[in-house]
């Protein structure tokens, strides 16, 4: 089994078999706990499209989703599938998957005694956080575009810019829905503490999503965010990725100073 995993990890695209049967009862219990806790916590906080998409995760068995079953449903909705990977994969591999409508998900789950802390994206973050919205056509399309832009940014030596765009939208984005602030970023959807903090704390700034500002704003991956950027709807991101020609922006931005998140929208 171990040898099989090691050999499989050498697939050029870093995918490995999920081996769903290998998860223990304890691991399935952690998923169920997190799922119940987080779906309740997000009431009135997450964008309504998230709850619409959440039923793709309600499968015939409880516990960590079996990707074969999950993929039948997800693929039928938007042509996306989830693939198993051992953990973080190289940027190029990651964006290559996205550009082909495949979302890489960590093939492990956090321990029962550290429900609120992960060092690397696990199957709960990846599947609960990212997959429900991938069942939405607008998100399905902009995530694929994000993959293509990621590959282009790598070519242009500007990955850090695209990473900021990804971070402040896909991972930590906020959206206005009927005038109310809601969460759509997966890093928020999958975090009990930060889902509250992002909407309720007086500490962080919440600025309108302006492309050049986002591309210039640094972020931290080891603490709650000091800045969140607010879109008016998913069409905004789709249009932005469809028309902005990001690669053209990179040389122009090279002369501009980076912005600190604590000051975003406060100038």
Structure tokens at 108: 């492990």
Q: Minimum Å distance from CB 125 to Fe ion?
A: 6
Specify the 3-state DSSP secondary structure of 256: coil
The site string for Fe ion over 170-209 (x = CB under 5 A, - otherwise) reads ----------------x-----------------------
Identity of the residue, 63 or 121, whose beta carbon is nearer to ligand HBI in the bound complex: 121
Identity of the residue, 162 or 186, whose beta carbon is nearer to Fe ion in the bound complex: 186
**Eight-class DSSP state of 16:** -
User: How far is residue 237's CA from residue 48's CA, in Å, rounded to a whole number?
Assistant: 17
Q: Rule CB under 6 A: say whether 163 interacts with ligand HBI.
A: yes
Q: Rule CB under 6 A: say whether 168 interacts with ligand HBI.
A: no
Q: Minimum Å distance from CB 13 to ligand HBI?
A: 12
Question: Is residue 124 within 8 Å of residue 117, measured between CB atoms?
Answer: no
Q: How many CA atoms lie within 13 A of 158 on its CB side?
A: 19
Which one of 49-57, 82-90, 173-181, 234-242 is the stretch in contact with ligand HBI (CB under 6 A)? 82-90
The site string for ligand HBI over 116-155 (x = CB under 6 A, - otherwise) reads -----x----------------------------------
Q: List the beta bridge partners of residue 259.
A: 217
Question: Is residue 247 within 8 Å of residue 153, measured between CB atoms?
Answer: yes
Identity of the residue, 89 or 138, whose beta carbon is nearer to ligand HBI in the bound complex: 89
Q: Minimum Å distance from CB 255 to Fe ion?
A: 31
CA 121 to chain centre: 9
- Kindly list the residues in this chain that would bind ligand HBI in the complex (CB under 6 A): 85, 88-89, 91, 94, 104, 106, 121, 163, 166
- Kindly list the residues in this chain that would bind Fe ion in the complex (CB under 5 A): 186
């Amino acid at each position: 089994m171990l040898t099989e995993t090691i050999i499989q990890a050498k697939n050029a695209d870093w995918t490995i078999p999920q081996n769903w049967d290998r998860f223990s009862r304890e691991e399935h219990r952690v998923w169920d706990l997190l799922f119940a806790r987080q779906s309740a916590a997000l009431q009135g906080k997450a964008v309504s499209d998230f709850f619409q998409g959440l039923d793709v995760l309600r499968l015939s068995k409880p516990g960590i989703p079996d990707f074969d079953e999950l993929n039948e449903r997800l693929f039928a909705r938007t042509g996306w599938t989830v693939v198993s990977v051992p953990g973080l994969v190289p940027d190029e591999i990651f964006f290559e998957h996205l550009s082909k409508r495949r979302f890489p998900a960590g093939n492990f789950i956090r321990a029962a005694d550290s429900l609120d802390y992960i060092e690397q994206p696990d199957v709960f973050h990846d599947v609960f956080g990212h997959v429900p919205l991938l069942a939405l056509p607008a998100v399905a399309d902009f995530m694929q575009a994000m993959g293509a832009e990621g590959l282009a940014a790598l070519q242009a030596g500007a990955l850090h810019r695209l990473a900021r765009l990804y971070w402040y939208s896909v991972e930590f984005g906020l959206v206005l829905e009927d005038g109310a602030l809601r969460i759509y970023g997966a890093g928020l959807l999958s975090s009990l503490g930060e889902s509250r903090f992002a909407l309720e704390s007086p500490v962080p700034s919440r600025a309108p999503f302006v492309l050049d500002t986002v591309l210039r704003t640094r972020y931290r991956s080891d603490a709650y965010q000091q800045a969140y950027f607010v879109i008016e709807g998913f069409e905004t991101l789709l249009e932005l990725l469809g028309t902005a020609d990001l690669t053209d922006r990179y040389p122009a931005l090279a002369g501009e100073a980076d912005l600190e998140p604590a000051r975003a929208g406060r100038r």
